[in-house]
Chain A
Amino acid sequence: MPELTDFSLADLSAKLKSRELSTAEVASAFLDEARSTNGKLGSFLTFADVAEDVARAQQLLDSGRAGPLTGIPVGVKDNLSTKGLRTTCASKIIENYIPPYDATVVTRMKEAGMVTLGKTNMDEFAMGTSNENSAFGDVRNPWDLERAPGGSSGGSAAAVAGGQVPLALGSDTGGSIRQPASLCGVVGFKPTYGRVSRYGLVAFASSLDQVGPIGRTVEETAWLAEVISGPDENDATCLKDGKISLEGLKTGSLKGKRFGIPKELFTDSAQPGVLAAVRAAMDTLAKEGAEFVELSIPEIQQGVTTYYIIAPAEASSNLGRFDGVRYGIRLDGDGHEDMVAQTRGKLFGHEVKQRIMVGTYVLSAGYFDAFYVRAQQVRAKMAAGFEAAFEGVDAILSPTSPCVAFKLGELSGDPLALKLLDYCTIPANMGGFPGISIPCGLSEGLPVGMQLMGPVNADEKILNLAYLAEQAMGAQAKPPKLA
């Protein structure tokens, strides 16, 4: 008899609708599991009082207005505003912040009857690829507790992989949903920029940030994408017809589908085991009739550099709001400017300060054109390269991460090594493209992720192709039980 926390969401939803289970029982089962394993995983920073969400979900069920995710628990990355529930961005500077409002995605999950179990750990202000930049402790990968879960949505990915929640929200600025999903062996989806509201997401790099779901399967992940997507008056960058439709999710076949294979994403800088797993997955898709087209988008090679100019530039501006005046902690100083500088200097972590420094530098007089403007031109050329490539294929396929999960501390001495881990994922943020990572086998006993990217607004097609690929590849290995 499988445990309740292992049930598919379709089964859970059916049992909730037939009254075999109550919303309180489902929430308790996951909450007990999450609390008992959190000492090992470190994936949750704060647990919520679920009573209100549970009651709302039960009401929806009792009045016959339940949807597929009514009563389903969810973890929320700690950079999304949750009214009355502490939201820290894993930073000391706002470690006591209680938001006065909900992010739009949180409001939509409430309306759908979902139950927020708590807030998940992350790299401070979403800056990192290993989750080691959290001010409140490491997250551990459920596949091997000595290893990192990836980042920055490492807590959300580890919580789903470790069975603490069936679904979680992350945010993705350069790969922060897809890369940890890859390292933890779960599904992570970054929607097209603008199909999900950023209202209530603590801004890191506003032209790149996007909220998205992490789940155990493509279908369950897509359900959450549907719930959170759609236009929002509170976010002027939200697309008018952005609601994600699941109508065609499970239709069609891979026969005749064309996947672009950019040679720049299959280089020797990726681990041989990762490339082998992705190529084996391609062989499986080929047996179903998928076709592969080799292509080249040279600007991919400048992606990481471009990202580490644009993202810090935007961050240096966005993080200006943390000044010890309106929220968070204030440290004393000699006058106003010193108070602000002491507060920021002592309470931001090293990585955050580094990015603010880089961003301030590239935006400062004399360097603006050489770095910032040029990076935006390279961004334009890279996006154009992808758009041209998308003309001839249904999606672009690649590894999600050049490596499997690495040991905690293994890369932390090298400021560049960790930044290179977003090499395959950054292009989607640069162009606003949808991207998904799905598990595609193991290397060295650790999960490998395969990424699919499509043009702007091809979210439905990418989810459909990911679903078909997942079906073709069959059941994937699961991490060892934690208990």
Chain B
Amino acid sequence: MGIPLEEVQHVARLARLQLDAGELLAFQSELNALLGHFSDLNEVDVAGFLPKPHAVSLVNVFSSDVPRAGLTRTEALDNAPVSKAGLFVVPTIIED
């Protein structure tokens, strides 16, 4: 029983986490330990209870329709590991 290693690898890929073999095994064991406890939830009869996604629900929150300054381009780029010509630079995604 438990989560197979391939599934741990799949989740790591979905989460964009490069993990080494040792880490994958560690997370397999930790995930299994945690998921073992998640069955607690089946002990609760939740009939009639809608999922509660927010602590305090609000509806129709509007901000005033007034223009205001945001970050300048320089400010937005100041923390970028690589930038050029006023843009964020990333490795090539689409080849020529």
Q: Which residues of A contact B (CB under 8 A)?
A: 96-98, 100-101, 192-194, 207-208, 233, 236-237, 239, 298-299, 301-302, 304-306, 308-309, 316, 320, 323-330, 333, 335-342, 344-346, 348, 350, 353-354, 356-358, 360-361, 364, 371, 373-381, 383-384, 415-416, 429-432, 456
Contacts and interface: CB of A to CB of B under 8 A. Distances in A.
Given A376-B52, A376-B53, A377-B46, A357 B11 contact: yes
B44 A381 contact: yes
5 contacts: A309-B38, A335-B91, A378-B49, A416-B33, A416-B37
B40 A302 contact: yes
Contact of A208 (B17, B18, B55, B79): B55
Nearest to A420: B37
B15 A357 contact: yes
Secondary structure class of chain A's binding surface, majority of residues: helix
B61 interface: yes
B58 interface: yes
B78 to A, nearest CB: 6
Interface string B1-20: 00100001001111111110
Given A237-B58, A239-B56, A339-B90, A356 B17 contact: yes
Contacts of A377: 44, 46, 49-52
Interface centre among B3, B19, B54, B80 (most CB of A within 10 A): B54
Secondary structure class of chain B's binding surface, majority of residues: loop
A296 to B, nearest CB: 14
Nearest to A352: B17
A304 B33 CA distance: 14
Contact of B79 (A98, A348, A376, A432): A98
B82 interface: yes
Interface residues of B, number: 52
Given A207-B53, A299-B44, A345-B17, A326 B93 contact: no
Nearest to B52: A380
Contacts of A96: 79
Interface in B36-89: 37-38, 40-44, 46, 49-56, 58, 61, 63-64, 71, 75-76, 78-82, 88
B19 A345 contact: yes
A357 B27 contact: yes
B34 interface: yes
Given A357-B11, A357-B12, A431-B55, A378 B80 contact: no
Contacts of B63: 233, 236
Contacts of B31: 354, 357-358, 361
B79 A194 contact: no
Interface centre among A327, A361, A432 (most CB of B within 10 A): A361
A384 B92 CA distance: 51
Nearest to A316: B15
Contacts of B34: 308, 358, 415-416
Contacts of B11: 357, 360-361, 364
A320 B1 CA distance: 30
B82 A330 contact: yes
A325 B79 CA distance: 9
